[in-house]
Amino acid sequence: MARIIRVDKAGPADRAGVRTGDELVSVAGHAVRDVLDLQFYSYEEEFDIVVKRDGRNITLHIEKEEGEGLGIDFETYLMDSPRTCSNRCIFCFIDQMPPGMRETLYFKDDDARLSFLQGNYITLTNLTRKDADRIIRMRISPINISVHTTNPDLRVRMLGNRNAGKSLEYLKEFADAGLILNGQIVLCPGYNDGEELRRTLDDLQGLYPAMSSVSVVPVGITRYRQGLTPLRPLTKEEALSVIGLVDEIGDRCKKVLGTRLFYCADELYLKAGIPLPDVEYYEDFPQIENGVGMAALFEEEFCLALEEAGKIESVEPFAIATGALFAPIMSKLIDLLRSKCNNMDGTVYAINNRFFGEEITVSGLVTGGDLIGQLRREKLPSRLLIPGNMLRAGETVFLDDITVEDVERALGVKLIPVANDGAALVDVILKR
């Protein structure tokens, strides 16, 4: 049973007489062990719930709109503890974190419920038979799956889990049940690239239409890999080869299936030194959360917003600090803006990641300390724009626990986080 810690005033549960402190026993005659049960069994318009109050069970009648929530919160989002990861993946980013950071950054989840509810990727290695049957019975999808390879023996090696090969069987079960799946492949040179990658892509194509999209992303290597499996980043030539293979199979899928199905992360194109595909290539951007098509979409949004802005007389001076990966694209966009406003004072700074190591180039892992250390001696204007994903969601804290206020004091500027949206950046720059 889960204890209710908040009841929305005038919500369905409040109207039925649910109180803070009640423990939820059952919904519509079904025992509830977590948030998935709650959502599944409380979907209808009318049903009874049982709560435990002062040591006795009380039955209450709920009336609401179909699909409407009950308006209650529990001590934890899942109503119980999230499942921790049981793998020892050779490429695990959390294993490469520096010591001394806040405890939550070291937590490894591998919870199928969070895949459905929050879009997390799971490996399937800690699913029980009961879990899998429940997913199929409730038709829980989409499910985001960290596949990495469909070679069972290689998957055992890469994930460091003896169940990693056998758990691939769930892919076919879920596909046969008609669930929607998204896949991810973290590419590690010498392991799951080359012919192993071809095998994996061919196998996953065989699961279409259940397998609706697959991203191929390069392994992230920090400077904290002491005692871990030796790994190296992809070379420029290897990135080109991966893009060629993914495009070869993706082009075939486009002709046969009507969808490309397989996509490379933006980072691979930038590492290879070749232009990114245009927005049409990415169809409906099914893997954008994995950094697939994000740059192309951002550029299109920026250009459309710039066109709609019309004539620009002047722009208040600004600087932009972003990750080394995206800085060249950002510089190109700011040059477009400069062509509409010749007297514009706008500079883009590429921030090298010295906290994690310079192989880490994405903006979301730039720290406040690196901003201060690399911009302290620069002559900055009064406002400094940064991607909002540098900060902890909903807060003003960087990964290294330095705050926005700390950076502002150190650099003598106003720090302005901007949403990952090209039009939003234009609005902020033009102060619209």
Nearest to 345 by CA among 320, 315, 322: 315
- The whole-number pLDDT of residue 115 equals 75
Q: Please name the residues in contact with 248: beta carbons below 8 A apart, sequence gap of 6 or more.
A: none
> Contact at 8 Å (CB) between 84 and 123?
no
Q: What architecture is domain 297-430?
A: 3-Layer(aba) Sandwich (3.40)
> Contact at 8 Å (CB) between 379 and 319?
no
Report helix, strand and coil shares of the chain as percent, to nearest 5. 40, 20, 45
List helix spans (H) across 258-403: 266-272, 294-309, 327-340, 368-375
Express each pLDDT in 313-333 by its tens digit. 889 999 999 999 999 999 999
Nearest to 371 by CA among 314, 409, 335: 409
- The three-state secondary structure class of 111 is coil
Spatial distance between the Cα atoms of 329 and 347, rounded to a whole number of angstroms: 13
- The whole-number pLDDT of residue 397 equals 95
346: β partners = 318
Which helix (H) or strand (E) segment holds residue 3: the answer is strand 2-7
- The whole-number pLDDT of residue 117 equals 72
Task: Kindly report the number of other CB atoms within 10 A of residue 314's CB atom.
Answer: 10
State both tokens at 153.
């023996």
Side chain identity at residue 383, one-letter code? R
State both tokens at 167.
């758990």
Express each pLDDT in 126-169 by its tens digit. 999 998 998 999 898 899 999 999 999 999 999 999 999 999 99
Spatial distance between the Cα atoms of 111 and 123, rounded to a whole number of angstroms: 9
Q: For 83, which DSSP code?
A: P
Spatial distance between the Cα atoms of 298 and 211, rounded to a whole number of angstroms: 26
Backbone angles phi, psi at 397, to 5 degrees: -125, 135
Backbone angles phi, psi at 298, to 5 degrees: -60, -45
- The whole-number pLDDT of residue 283 equals 96
- The whole-number pLDDT of residue 109 equals 83
CATH number of the structural domain 2-74: 2.30.42.10
Q: For 98, which DSSP code?
A: P
- The model's pTM: 0.88
Q: Please name the residues in contact with 339: beta carbons below 8 A apart, sequence gap of 6 or more.
A: none
Q: Which residues of the chain have pLDDT under 70?
A: none
> Contact at 8 Å (CB) between 180 and 85?
no
- The three-state secondary structure class of 144 is strand
* Domain spans, the chain: 2-74, 94-290, 297-430
- The whole-number pLDDT of residue 222 equals 95
Cis peptide leading into residue 142 (ω within 30°): yes
323: β partners = 351
Cis peptide leading into residue 209 (ω within 30°): yes
Task: Kindly report the number of other CB atoms within 10 A of residue 355's CB atom.
Answer: 22
State both tokens at 352.
């090298």
Q: What average pLDDT does the structure give for the chain?
A: 93
What burial letters (b/e) apply to 316-338, b meaning 16+ CB within 10 Å?
A: eebbbbbbbbbbebbbebbeebe
Spatial distance between the Cα atoms of 86 and 109, rounded to a whole number of angstroms: 9
Q: For 281, which DSSP code?
A: G
Express each pLDDT in 191-214 by its tens digit. 999 999 999 999 999 999 999 999
- The whole-number pLDDT of residue 80 equals 77
> Contact at 8 Å (CB) between 4 and 24?
yes
User: 94-290, which class in CATH?
Assistant: alpha beta
Residue 139, sorted as left (phi over 0), alpha (psi -120 to 50) or beta, turns out to be left
- The whole-number pLDDT of residue 110 equals 82
